[in-house]
């Protein structure tokens, strides 16, 4: 163990430079966020993730945000276990009908002010599963969405860019 | 001996490849059930169709066959009554097709949680009625209490519900309730073009997207009687082994993390990320979605990708052995993983559990060997097997498989043939069917499909390895403490989406 620890000290950090906030995401947010909320929350956000029936591909890339390369916590973004502690609800999946109620309840359990980020093509419009008897077809059909991050799945850098836009919102 | 050698059947369906599909009556269906119950055959899958149920059977030594039973009044003799691994399939068939397993020990719904607008969406499609509340299995005793978890969990995890009955710290019974990720894949498959269906198959379980695309492509190619060119076969195997590597590395770290050993997680996450970056460099997608397509592969590998993969092999070979040593020498970690969550070998055999769940409990089955598919017949690799069946054994199987995948990737790069990467896989204007198995990181994925006379996919059924592993988690957790559940669960790492479909 000692060797592994020493080596971690010895080599330089693996962390990627900040990708900056995405233009498109900033534009989308400009409409939905007010300044007061920003002063209240400062530059840190707690994120609660809900898988509303994804294929689990989106989750894999959300997990990657915590590895040494993306190290999401350095931006003041952190994942929390309870919706009661969360500012942001990060939702993936086409929202299956079987998950609709659970998603709604999670959203309702969050204190104001709160934002919803829909990550991935499925969360945007149901993706390839749109039109099935078993899906609601996109997060916005169930709860209001402030920001969409596209991709199938979105790459970690794209997720980061979108989430940073929340911090740097106008 | 062939599977059908012991089973009386009425006739063989035409155009089912590469193994036969036999139409059976009561006699043949019961003969199959008897052989399953006696442990002479393994259930590979049980699924519905219009007025029919199909059952795929495996003779572990040598053969596969599908039996089809035509239902009278929407009923067929229950397989689950004598062979427990079939029970959840029968419940799912009833929810989707409205076909009843006569004599089934459990008639509760499985995928239909009462939120759909239609009932039997692949059957009569009636408007949904109000459903009765779900009755969990009873557990009685003075000091017992229940803990209900999910479908929304505390971490970034797929949705599912777990109902624990505990006596103090100790779990007396775990009952799973799944279906939350059900997206109606089979209904969208019906009538899809081959291209669309392949994309959909790639999104059944994102962590196994390569394996699903592989299984689907092989099933389609079997039905259409085409074969992917040699270069494509090797590129497919490269993608499949990179996927296995990425998942095993991620899992080994995540299991240790659930035993509060974060250092391992931090280190294996770096290796996992490097694997995904190498995959991205090769094929232009980190998870390699839509790379494998019927007829071959969609993209040529980039030269830069090949050198990145070589660099990856060197790095993993340098760092991984140290991590393995660390795992082996950390007593506090071993204390959590050794003798925790034991799957008994007879259960693994009975359920036909694949992947690390089966192999950690003495079941050697590996679809890359039996039935076997190209290019694995040309490559040298071992399938590790252990007997202990605990979390520790499931970690060790992954460790050994990481080593095997490294060697396989090296062999693949060393002999990558030249030539075309794709042949045309145009559906013919005739009904035909195909079946294939591919070995995903968590076990065998089965793909079955039928083309209609217009060249569209009439039916497609995809069966994840998790179907046979989820029930074993229920048995493995018994008498363990509630706090060890996340650890056990991660050591199984079953797919919710792959199961719920
Ligand atoms: S967007 Fe793609 S990766 Fe994400 S859940 Fe949907 S199919 Fe899976």
Percent of chain B with pLDDT over 90: 91
Say how far apart CA B470 and CA B494 lie, in whole Å.
Answer: 7
pLDDT band at B65 (very low <50, low <70, confident <90, very high): very high
**What does each C-alpha distance from B336 to B13, B157, B264, B330, B332 come to in angstroms?**
52, 22, 14, 10, 7
Q: Average pLDDT, stretch A32-53?
A: 72
pLDDT of res. A38: 55
SS3 call for B337: helix
pLDDT of res. B175: 95
Residue A11 has pLDDT above 90, yes or no: no
Burial state string for B357-376 with b = 16 or more CB within 10 A and e = fewer than 16: bbbbbbbebbbbebbebbbb
Cβ pair B464, B354 in contact under 8 A? no
pLDDT band at A42 (very low <50, low <70, confident <90, very high): low
From ligand 1's centre to the CA of A129, what distance in Å?
A: 10
From ligand 1's centre to the CA of B286, what distance in Å?
A: 13
The set of residues, in sequence order, having a beta carbon less than 8 Å from that of A112 and lying 6+ positions away, is: none
Q: Average pLDDT, stretch B153-171?
A: 91
* Helical ranges in B205-261 per DSSP H: 209-224, 230-258
A120 lines ligand 1 (CB under 6 A): yes
- DSSP letters along B19-74, please? S-EEEE-HHHHHHHHHHHHTTSSEEEEEEEETTEEEEEEEETTTEEEEEEEEPBTT
Cβ pair B451, B431 in contact under 8 A? yes
Residue A46 has pLDDT above 70, yes or no: yes
From ligand 1's centre to the CA of A58, what distance in Å?
A: 6
Cβ pair B424, B196 in contact under 8 A? no
Q: State pLDDT tens for residues B81-103.
A: 999 999 999 999 999 999 999 99
Percent of chain A with pLDDT over 70: 85
Contact B157 A59 (CB under 8 A): yes
Say how far apart CA B68 and CA B101 lie, in whole Å.
Answer: 14
Residues forming beta bridges with residue A78, ordered by sequence position: A46
Cβ pair B159, A99 in contact under 8 A? yes
Q: Which of residues 25-84 of A touch B (CB under 8 A)?
A: 49-64, 66-69, 79, 81-82
* Structure tokens belonging to residue B370: 């039996």
Say how far apart CA B74 and CA B64 lie, in whole Å.
Answer: 26
pLDDT of res. B394: 98
Q: Which of residues 137-176 of B touch A (CB under 8 A)?
A: 151-152, 154-159
Q: Average pLDDT, stretch A35-59?
A: 81
Cβ pair B67, B22 in contact under 8 A? yes
Q: State pLDDT tens for residues B238-266.
A: 999 999 999 999 999 999 999 999 999 99
pLDDT band at A32 (very low <50, low <70, confident <90, very high): low
* Structure tokens belonging to residue A39: 């002063």
Q: State pLDDT tens for residues B111-157.
A: 999 999 999 999 988 888 877 789 999 888 888 998 899 899 888 88
Q: State pLDDT tens for residues B417-453.
A: 999 999 999 888 889 999 999 999 999 999 999 999 9
Q: State pLDDT tens for residues A147-163.
A: 999 999 999 999 999 98
Q: Average pLDDT, stretch B365-386?
A: 96
φ and ψ of B12, to 5 deg: -100, 140
pLDDT of res. A40: 53
Put simply, whether A95 touches B (Cβ < 8 Å) is no
**Residue that is written with structure tokens 């018994």 in the block:** B478
Cβ-nearest to A102 among B154, B159, B500: B159
Say how far apart CA B64 and CA B43 lie, in whole Å.
Answer: 10
Contact A53 B182 (CB under 8 A): yes
Looking from the CA of residue A153, the nearest atom of ligand 1 is 3
User: Which pTM does this prediction carry?
Assistant: 0.95
Q: State pLDDT tens for residues B448-493.
A: 999 999 999 999 999 999 999 999 999 999 889 999 999 999 999 9
Cβ pair A92, A126 in contact under 8 A? no
Residue B406 has pLDDT above 80, yes or no: yes
Q: State pLDDT tens for residues A71-94.
A: 999 888 999 999 999 999 999 999
pLDDT of res. B150: 86
Tell me which chain A residues have a C-beta less than 8 angstroms from the C-beta of B155: 49, 79, 81
Residue A23 has pLDDT above 70, yes or no: no
Tell me which chain A residues have a C-beta less than 8 angstroms from the C-beta of B200: 128
Q: Are strands B16-17 and B21-24 parallel, antiparallel or unpaired?
A: unpaired
SS3 call for B389: coil
pLDDT of res. A19: 77
Residue A130 has pLDDT above 90, yes or no: yes
H/E stretch holding B323 reads helix B303-329
pLDDT of res. A36: 46
Put simply, whether A93 touches B (Cβ < 8 Å) is yes
Tell me which chain B residues have a C-beta less than 8 angstroms from the C-beta of A51: 156-159, 181
Cβ pair A167, A75 in contact under 8 A? yes
pLDDT band at B415 (very low <50, low <70, confident <90, very high): very high
pLDDT of res. B1: 72
Tell me which chain A residues have a C-beta less than 8 angstroms from the C-beta of B203: 55, 57, 127-129, 152
Say how far apart CA B229 and CA B460 lie, in whole Å.
Answer: 24
Residue A170 has pLDDT above 70, yes or no: no
Q: State pLDDT tens for residues A105-128.
A: 999 999 998 999 999 999 999 999
A&B contacts, CB < 8 Å: 152
pLDDT of res. A6: 72
pLDDT of res. A28: 67
Say how far apart CA A54 and CA B155 lie, in whole Å.
Answer: 15
Q: CATH for B11-125?
A: 3.30.460.80
Q: Average pLDDT, stretch A57-63?
A: 97
Which fold is adopted by the domain B193-463? Answer: Cytochrome-c3 Hydrogenase; chain B (1.10.645)
A93 lines ligand 1 (CB under 6 A): yes
A121 lines ligand 1 (CB under 6 A): yes
**What does each C-alpha distance from B488 to B182, B301, B379, B395, B472 come to in angstroms?**
24, 38, 33, 11, 11
On average, the pLDDT of chain A sits at 87
Structural domain spans, chain B: 11-125, 193-463
CA A25-A31-A34 angle, 5° bins: 105
**What does each C-alpha distance from B346 to B349, B358, B362, B475, B479 come to in angstroms?**
5, 10, 9, 12, 18
Whose Cα sits closest to atom 8 in ligand 1? Answer: A55
From ligand 1's centre to the CA of A120, what distance in Å?
A: 6
Q: Which of residues 78-97 of B touch A (CB under 8 A)?
A: none
Whose Cα sits closest to atom 6 in ligand 1? Answer: A122
Q: State pLDDT tens for residues B287-335.
A: 999 999 999 999 999 999 999 999 999 999 999 999 999 999 999 999 9
């Amino acid at each position: 163990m000692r060797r592994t620890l020493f080596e971690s000290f010895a080599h330089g950090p693996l962390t990627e430079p900040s990708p900056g906030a995405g233009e498109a995401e900033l534009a989308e947010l400009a409409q939905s966020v007010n300044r007061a909320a920003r002063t209240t929350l400062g530059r840190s956000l707690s994120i609660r993730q809900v898988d509303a029936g994804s294929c689990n591909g989106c989750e894999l890339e959300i997990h990657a945000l915590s590895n040494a390369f993306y190290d999401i916590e350095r931006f003041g973004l952190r994942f929390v276990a309870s919706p009661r502690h969360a500012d942001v609800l990060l939702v993936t999946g086409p929202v299956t009908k079987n998950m609709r109620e659970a998603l709604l309840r999670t959203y309702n359990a969050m204190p104001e002010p709160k934002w919803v980020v829909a990550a991935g093509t499925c969360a945007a419009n149901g993706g390839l599963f749109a039109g099935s008897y078993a899906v609601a077809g996109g997060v916005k059909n169930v709860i209001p969405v402030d920001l969409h991050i596209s991709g199938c799945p979105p790459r970690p850098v794209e997720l980061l860019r979108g989430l940073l836009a929340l911090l740097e919102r106008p | 001996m062939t599977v059908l050698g012991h089973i009386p059947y009425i006739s063989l369906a035409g155009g089912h490849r590469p193994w036969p599909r036999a139409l059976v009556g009561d006699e043949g269906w019961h003969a199959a059930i008897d052989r399953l119950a006696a442990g002479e055959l393994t259930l590979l899958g049980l699924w519905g169709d219009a007025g029919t149920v199909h059952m795929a059977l495996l003779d572990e030594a040598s053969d596969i066959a599908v039996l089809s039973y035509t239902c009278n009044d929407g009923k067929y003799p229950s397989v689950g009554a004598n062979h427990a691994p079939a029970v959840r399939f029968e419940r799912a068939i009833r929810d989707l097709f409205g076909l009843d397993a006569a004599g089934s020990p459990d008639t509760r719904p499985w995928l239909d949680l009462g939120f759909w607008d239609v009932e039997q969406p692949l059957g009569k499609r009636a408007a949904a009625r109000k459903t009765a509340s779900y009755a969990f299995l009873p557990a009685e005793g003075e000091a017992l209490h229940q803990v209900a978890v999910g479908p929304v969990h505390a971490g970034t995890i797929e949705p599912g519900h777990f109902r624990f009955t505990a006596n103090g710290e100790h779990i007396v019974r775990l009952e799973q309730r799944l279906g939350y990720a059900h997206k109606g894949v089979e209904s969208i498959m019906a009538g899809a073009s081959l291209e669309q269906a392949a994309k959909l198959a790639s999104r059944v379980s994102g962590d196994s997207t390569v394996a699903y695309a592989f299984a689907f492509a092989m099933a389609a190619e079997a039905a259409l009687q085409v074969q992917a060119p040699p270069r494509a076969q090797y590129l497919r195997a490269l993608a499949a082994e990179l996927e296995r590597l990425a998942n095993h590395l991620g899992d080994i770290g995540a299991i240790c993390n659930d035993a509060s050993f974060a250092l391992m997680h931090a280190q294996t996450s770096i290796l996992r990320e490097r694997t995904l970056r190498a995959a991205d460099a090769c094929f232009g997608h980190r998870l390699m979605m839509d790379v494998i397509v019927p007829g071959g592969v969609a993209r040529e590998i980039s030269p830069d990708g090949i050198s990145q993969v070589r660099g990856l092999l060197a790095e993993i070979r340098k760092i991984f052995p140290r991590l393995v040593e660390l795992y082996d020498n950390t007593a506090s970690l071993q204390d959590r993983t050794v003798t925790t969550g034991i799957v008994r070998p007879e259960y693994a055999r009975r359920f036909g559990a694949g992947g690390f769940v089966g192999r950690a409990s003495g079941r050697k089955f590996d679809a890359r060997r039996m039935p076997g598919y190209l290019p694995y017949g040309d490559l040298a690799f071992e399938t590790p097997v252990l007997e202990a069946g605990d979390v520790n054994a499931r970690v060790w199987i992954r460790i050994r498989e990481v080593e095997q995948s490294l060697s396989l990737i090296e062999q693949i790069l060393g002999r990558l043939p030249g030539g075309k990467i794709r042949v045309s896989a145009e559906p013919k204007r005739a009904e035909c069917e195909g079946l294939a198995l591919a070995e995903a990181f968590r076990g065998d994925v089965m793909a079955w499909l039928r083309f209609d006379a217009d060249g569209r996919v009439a039916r497609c059924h995809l069966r994840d390895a998790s179907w046979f592993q989820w029930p074993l988690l229920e048995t493995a957790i018994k008498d363990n403490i509630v706090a060890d559940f996340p650890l056990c669960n991660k050591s199984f790492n079953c797919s919710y989406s792959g199961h719920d479909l």
